[in-house]
A and B are shown apart, each in its own frame.
Chain A
Amino acid sequence: MATQAAFMHGSKAETETFWGTVWSWLTTVDHKRIGILYGTSAFIFFLVGGIEALIMRLQLARPDNTLVGAERFNELFTMHGTTMIFLAVMPLSAAFFNYMIPLMIGARDVAFPRLNALSYWIFLSGALFLNSSWLFGLAPDGGWFGYANLTTAQFSPRHTIDFWMLGLQILGLSSMLAGFNFLVTIINMRAPGMTLMRMPVFIWMSFVTQFLLVLAFPAITVALILLMFDRFFGTLFYAPAAGADPLLWQHLFWIFGHPEVYILILPAMGIVSEVLPTFARKPLFGAPVVIYSGILIGFFGFGVWSHHMFSVGMGPVADAAFSISTMLIAVPTGVKILNWIGTLWGGSIRFKTPIYFSLGFIAMFTMGGLSGVMHASPPVDLQQTDSYFVVAHFHYVLFGGSIFGLFSGIYYWWPKITGKLLDEKLGLWHFWAMLVGFNMTFFPQHYLGLIGMPRRIYTYAPDLGWNFWNLVSTVGSFLIAVSLLFFIANVIRSLRYGAVAGNDPWDARTLEWAIPSPPPVYNFARIPHVQDRDDFWLTKYGDGHGGAPRPKGAPVTAAEIAGIHMPPASFWPLLLALAVAVMISGLMISMVQVAIGGLLTLWLMYKFAVELHRPAAGHGH
Chain B
Amino acid sequence: MGNYSIIGHSVPQIDAKEKAKGVAEFVSDLQFPGMLYGKILRSPHPHARLLQIDPSRAKRLKGVKAVVTAEDTPNLPFGPRTEDWTIFAVDKVRFIGDEVAAVAAVDEETAEEALELIQVEYEELPAVFDPVEAMKPGAPLIHNRENNIVSEFRLNKGDVDRAFRECDWVHAERYYTNQVYQAYLEPMACVAHFDPQGKLTLYLATQIPSMTRITYAKALGLPLEKVRVVVPHYGGAFGAKMETNLHLAGAVLSQKTGKPVRMVNNREEDFMAGNPRVPMHIDLKVGAKKDGKLVAKEVRIIGASGARAVYSMAIVATACYRVDSLYHFEHLRTEGITVYTNTVPTSCFRGFGNAQMTFALESTLDRIAEALKMDPAELRIRNGLKTGEVSIHGWQIGSSGLEDCIRKAVEASGWKEKRRQKRFGRGLGLACCNHVSGNRAFSREFDGGAGIVRIGREGKVLVYHGESDMGQGQKTAFAQIVAEELGVRLDQIEVAPVDTDISPFGMGSFATRGTVFGGNGLKAAAREAKEEIFQIAAELFETSPSQLEAREGKIYVKGEPERHLPFAKVAEAGVLRRGGAPIVGIGFWVPDTVLPDPVTKYGNISPAYPFACQIAEVEVDTETGNVTVVNYTAAHDVGQAVNPVAIEGQIEGGVTQ
A, B from the same assembly? no
Task: Give me the interface of B with A, judged by CB distance under 8 Å.
Answer: none
Task: Give me the interface of A with B, judged by CB distance under 8 Å.
Answer: none
